[in-house]
Chains A and B, each alone.
Chain A
Amino acid sequence: DQQVKQNSPSLSVQEGRISILNCDYTNSMFDYFLWYKKYPAEGPTFLISISSIKDKNEDGRFTVFLNKSAKHLSLHIVPSQPGDSAVYFCAASTFSGNTPLVFGKGTRLSVIA
């Protein structure tokens, strides 16, 4: 059973437009969510996080939105740049930090110049 789902394996977006990556979770115990970005031949790098006490968190061009009732979060990248082309993983845990991260399968974003 997949507790964290990224239903779109891939996404193509034009440079300068908005990229929206989606993630759904099923475990109600999750209250802390993170996004990681992975380039080929490199390990994932932390991008942004959000706890369930918030519904939005921004960091520069990256914004994560959390809809707790729908158990859904999304990552918005505005404007998208070619260097954003990577695989994006959504991950979930508990705010206490005691639960190992559960990752989605990832979404491959391609930003076309």
Chain B
Amino acid sequence: KAGVTQTPRYLIKTRGQQVTLSCSPISGHRSVSWYQQTPGQGLQFLFEYFSETQRNKGNFPGRFSGRQFSNSRSEMNVSTLELGDSALYLCASSSEGGFNEKLFFGSGTQLSVL
């Protein structure tokens, strides 16, 4: 079974631009969560989607948004990029989306904002 796939692996953008990251969950998994990892803050929860609906949202500004498609693939978008958005963005999938379930993470997208 293929794991969670995130594309692209690396991305360099400049301040003010926008970016879209993609995540394909494990086949059959309906929940996709997104996390931001920075050296100072660890992993911070962005949002979770289940069956195309956002079920949970973390404490991030509205510049961070996401969506999920009918095949469970998910995208997250960051608009008006700031230097502080430089981070590793991780996507995780699970079958039913309960946070007491084991999450399967992708390798992440490393975003650098210059």
Contacts and interface: CB of A to CB of B under 8 A. Distances in A.
B31 to A, nearest CB: 10
A100 to B, nearest CB: 4
B16 to A, nearest CB: 29
Interface in A25-83: 32, 34, 36, 41-46, 49, 51
B102 A93 contact: no
A101 interface: yes
Given A89-B43, A103-B42, A43 B105 contact: yes
A41 B104 CA distance: 15
Contacts, number: 64
A41 B90 CA distance: 11
B99 A101 contact: yes
A99 interface: yes
B44 A103 contact: yes
A94 interface: yes
The 5 A-B residue pairs whose C-beta atoms are closest, nearest first, are A97-B98, A43-B105, A105-B42, A97-B100, A103-B43
Interface of B: 4, 33, 35, 40-45, 48, 56, 58, 90, 92, 97-108
Given A34-B102, A96-B98, A101-B99, 9 more contacts: A32-B100, A43-B4, A43-B107, A49-B102, A97-B98, A99-B99, A100-B48, A104-B42, A106-B42
